[in-house]
């Protein structure tokens, strides 16, 4: 297997990836809290997990991956009580929405999607182990983790705990970065109707941080090779996961490689509903955007770099996808002249594929990977323009594009029937009419469709014209 290097947040360095079991690479990723639709920042994190999975498979590993579903926390309790619904009744539609988003973005299914509420027994077991290690204290019926008694606290986030006041507690599931306090493990019900479980450690519900430690243990029995999540989860969430898991089971290794994806900005700012720059996948699709173009844009920057989402960049992504697809369409059309229909041979690996793998081996360097993709597009178009295409060469290039799409997940390899000129004339007329009526969503949809068909629209002195690429 080719050597892969990942930037490990724990060490702060790129390290050679050496999983314990190459035929079962254990990966745990923090998933959604299901109380609303996932926003673009969430989707970028989910797509990073998809890129990681596809890359591991390309390198010959067999991933065994988990993404948790947080279906109990402060926000869920607040919203479910307000609507007079039970936890499962309230969260079920949001779980379905999450699954629909993954499918729309062509995100591969993972092996496991555990729900927090199904892991209550494991959470209780972890707390009992922590109690035996002297790391837990009780206050007003709730149980807290005493971080001053865990000597390695702060090793992931590099946070300074020297000024911490012992016994200063946080009762909420989320709190501000750099504010170091003991965190709640088990919360005593504070209001009527609040969900609670009757257990041997008392009545209550788990704190948010405890949930992931328990689900990792439920799925894998101990620790994992890779743990991923957004950079904002490094502290306190992931730091607290380490404290819980390694505090309860000091003889076991919890996580070997921590991989964190950077923030998504929208128009240069942090996403917020109050700023009017808060988007879900459904918002963009309703405006006429294609999911595959959204996928391309959210994948196009290195996972450890901030990505600034704008409508202009989405338009550029649309053009980039069309550029790759149009090249493939030309290759498919040329192949069809010999009466052949392209069917990928999964076992065929052109030598040039190694160049693409080298990019991915360097901490999933998608920018370098895409640069090679567009070099291939340019070279393939030149080959089609200047030569009498050879069937074997056409097939070889299509195989390479097919392997590229095993990473990108955006391309189509079925030859499209040529659209009649009269049909294109009608599409152009409809687009002009939409622009005239300021129906920009419809205009953009028709523009994307024309792009997919390989049509270039030109505004000349004689009026609007179109031509095939």
- DSSP labels for 75-108? HHHHHHHHHT--HHHHHHHHHHHHHHHHHHTTPP
Please give the pLDDT value at position 405. 97
Q: Tell me the HSE value of 437 on the side-chain side, using a 13 A CA sphere.
A: 11
Pairwise CA distance, residues 216 & 210, whole Å? 10
The DSSP string of 329-374 is HHHHHHHHTTT------TT---TTHHHHHHHHHBT--HHHHHHHHH
Strand 224-230 and strand 25-29: the pairing is parallel
Q: How far apart are CA 340 and CA 317, in angstroms?
A: 31
pLDDT value for 277: 82
CA-wise closest residue to 57 among 2, 14, 105, 112: 2
Domain ranges of the chain: 5-261, 281-408, 421-468
Q: What pLDDT is recorded for position 76?
A: 95
CA dist 310 and 291 (Å) reads 15
Q: What is the DSSP string of 262-287?
A: PPEEETTEE--GGGT---BHHHHHHT
**Per-residue pLDDT at 276:** 77
Task: Supply the pLDDT for residue 379.
Answer: 95
Look at domain 5-261 and name its CATH class: alpha beta
Q: How many CB atoms are located within 10 Å of the residue 113 CB?
A: 17
Helix (H) or strand (E) holding 203: strand 202-206
Predicted pLDDT of residue 175:
58
CA 104 to chain CA centroid, Å, is 13
d(CA 73, CA 206): 8
| DSSP-derived pairing of the beta strands 307-309 and 264-266 | parallel
How remote is the C-alpha of 274 from its chain's centroid? 25
In sign, the C-alpha dihedral spanning 126, 127, 132, 135 is positive
**Binding annotation:** 30, 212, 237, 241, 273
Host H or E run for residue 210: helix 208-220
- Selection from 278, 263, 277, 265 nearest residue 233 by Cα: 263
The whole-angstrom separation of Cα 90 and Cα 87 is 5
Task: Tell me the three state secondary structure of residue 468.
Answer: strand
Residue for token digits 């009419």? Answer: 433
Closest CA to 174 of 216, 235, 224, 130: 235
Is residue 144 helix, strand or coil? strand
CA 327 to chain CA mean position, Å: 27
- Rg of the chain (C-alpha set): 26
Spatial CA neighbour of 173 closest among 94, 77, 67: 77
Identify which of 32, 63, 53 has the alpha carbon closest to the alpha carbon of residue 106: 53
Say which DSSP state 149 is in: G
Res 248: pLDDT: 98
Positions at the binding site for Zn(2+): 30, 212, 237, 241
Is cis: bond before 444, omega within 30 of 0?
A: no
Strands (E), 9-147: 13-16, 25-29, 63-67, 136-139, 142-145
Annotated binding residues for ATP, written as ranges, equal 273
For residue 311, give the nearest of 326, 297, 291, 325 by alpha carbon. Answer: 297
**C-beta neighbour count of 32 within 10 angstroms:** 24
Torsion of CA 455, 456, 459, 465, to 10 degrees: -40
| 153 and 258 Cβ atoms separated by less than 8 Å | no
Per-residue pLDDT tens, the chain, 469 aa: give them. Answer: 778 999 999 999 999 999 999 899 999 999 999 999 999 999 999 999 999 999 999 999 999 999 999 999 999 999 999 999 999 999 999 999 999 999 999 999 999 999 999 999 999 999 999 999 999 999 989 999 999 899 999 999 998 887 665 566 777 776 555 567 899 999 998 877 889 999 999 999 999 999 999 999 999 999 999 999 999 999 999 999 999 999 999 999 999 999 999 999 999 998 877 777 889 999 999 999 999 999 999 999 999 999 999 999 999 999 999 999 999 999 999 998 877 778 777 555 456 899 899 999 999 999 999 999 999 999 999 999 987 888 989 999 999 999 999 999 999 998 655 566 777 888 888 888 888 888 888 888 888 888 777 787 876 666 677 876 6
Name 411's Cβ contacts closer than 8 Å, sequence gap at least 6. 324, 325, 328, 401, 402, 404, 405
Query: What is the token pair recorded at 208?
Result: 């948010």
Asked if residue 126 lies in contact with residue 70, where contact means CB atoms within 8 angstroms, the answer is no
């Amino acid at each position: 297997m080719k050597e892969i290097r990942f930037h490990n947040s724990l060490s702060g360095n790129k390290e050679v990836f050496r999983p314990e079991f190459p035929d079962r690479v254990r990966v745990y990723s923090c998933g959604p809290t299901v109380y609303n639709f996932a926003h673009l920042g969430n989707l970028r994190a989910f797509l990073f997990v998809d890129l990681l999975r596809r890359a591991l498979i390309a390198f010959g590993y067999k991933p065994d991956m988990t993404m948790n579903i947080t279906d109990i926390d402060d926000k869920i309790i607040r919203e479910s009580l307000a609507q007079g619904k039970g936890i499962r009744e309230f969260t079920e539609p949001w779980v379905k929405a999450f699954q629909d988003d993954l499918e729309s973005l062509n995100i591969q299914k993972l092996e496991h999607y555990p729900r927090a509420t199904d892991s209550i027994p494991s959470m209780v077991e972890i707390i009992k182990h922590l109690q035996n290690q002297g790391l837990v204290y009780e206050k007003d019926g709730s149980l807290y983790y005493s971080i001053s008694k865990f000597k390695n606290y702060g090793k992931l986030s590099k946070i300074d705990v020297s000024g911490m006041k012992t016994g200063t507690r946080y009762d909420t599931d989320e709190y501000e970065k750099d504010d170091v306090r003991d965190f709640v493990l088990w919360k005593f019900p504070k209001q009527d109707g609040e969900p609670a479980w009757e257990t041997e450690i008392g009545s209550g519900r788990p704190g948010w941080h405890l949930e992931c430690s328990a689900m990792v243990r439920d799925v894998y029995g101990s620790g994992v090779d890779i743990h991923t999540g957004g950079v904002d989860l490094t502290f306190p969430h992931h730091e607290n996961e380490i404290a819980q898991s390694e505090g309860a089971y000091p003889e076991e290794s919890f996580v070997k490689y921590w991989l964190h994806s950077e923030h998504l900005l929208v128009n240069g700012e942090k996403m917020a509903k109050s700023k009017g720059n808060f988007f879900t996948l459904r918002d963009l699709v309703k405006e006429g955007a294609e999911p595959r173009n959204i996928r391309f844009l959210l994948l196009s920057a290195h996972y450890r770099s901030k990505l600034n989402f704008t409508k202009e960049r989405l338009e550029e992504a649309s053009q980039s996808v069309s550029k790759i697809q149009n090249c493939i369409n030309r290759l498919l059309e040329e192949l069809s002249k010999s009466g052949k229909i392209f069917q990928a041979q999964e076992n065929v690996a052109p030598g040039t594929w190694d160049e693409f793998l080298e990019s991915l081996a360097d901490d999933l360097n998608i920018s370098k990977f895409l640069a090679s993709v567009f070099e291939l597009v340019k070279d393939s178009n030149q080959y089609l323009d200047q030569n009498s295409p050879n069937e074997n060469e056409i097939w070889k290039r299509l195989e390479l594009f097919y392997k590229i799409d095993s990473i990108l997940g955006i391309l189509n390899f079925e030859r499209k029937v040529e659209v009649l000129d009269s049909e294109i004339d009608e599409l152009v007329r409809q687009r002009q009419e939409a622009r005239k009526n300021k129906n920009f969503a419809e205009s953009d949809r028709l523009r994307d469709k024309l792009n997919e068909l390989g049509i270039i629209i030109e505004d000349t002195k004689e009026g609007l014209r179109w031509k095939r690429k």
